[in-house]
Structure 1
Amino acid sequence: MKTIKVLGPGCAKCKTTFNNVQEAVKQLGIEAEIIKIEDIEEMMKYNILTTPVLMIDDVIKVKGRIAQTDEIKTFLKE
């Protein structure tokens, strides 16, 4: 099972990325643990400066922009 993390302070871009992740998982019909990290101190542990960040299995896939649903599906198939 994939572990997907969306890091961001809760801004519109972060929420859209989180919703896109949920949609991608639903469209693929896979099981995944989706974690939303909004705590600044927790985000700093990942050494990121721009949000939102999309991580899959602890690998940063997208940062500083909204990850699109089709793009996320491609990452999940890797």
Structure 2
Amino acid sequence: MDIKVLGTGCANCKNTLALIDQVAKTKGVSVTINKVEELRDIMSYGVMSTPGVVIDGKVVHAGGVPTKAKVEGWLST
């Protein structure tokens, strides 16, 4: 599973990345997490408010830190 966290490095972006990593390890799900910090690259996904989360090329979240339950849902599919 390829996950991208879109954001310029703010605290919410870092918290989102840490949350996804933590949930993946807890669930034993193999993921590749990349940070996308370049504004041009973030906007290419159509995300206007960060953090954004892209899983396997599909935007699944934008704006604010996702809930733990939401992240668990993404990683259970």
- How high is the TM-score relative to the length of structure 2? 0.90
Matched, 1:30 2:29: yes
Distance 1:36 1:67 in 2: 16
Q: Give % identity.
A: 31
What CA RMSD, in Å, does the superposition of the two structures yield over aligned residues?
Answer: 1.1
State the shift of 1:69 in Å: 2.5
Q: Stretches of 4+ moved more than 4 A in 1? A: none
Distance 2:20 2:10 in 1: 16
Structure 1: gaps of 5 or more residues: none
State the shift of 1:26 in Å: 0.5
1:41-66 Cα shifts (integer Å, max 9, x gaps) = 21121121111001111111111110
Distance 1:67 1:56 in 2: 14
- In the other structure, the counterpart of 1:50 is 49
State the shift of 1:11 in Å: 0.6
- In the other structure, the counterpart of 1:15 is 14
State the shift of 1:70 in Å: 2.6
Structure 2: gaps of 5 or more residues: none
Alignment length, in residue pairs?
77
Asked whether the equivalents of residues 7 and 13 of structure 2 are also in contact (C-alpha less than 8 Å), the reply is yes
State the shift of 1:14 in Å: 0.6
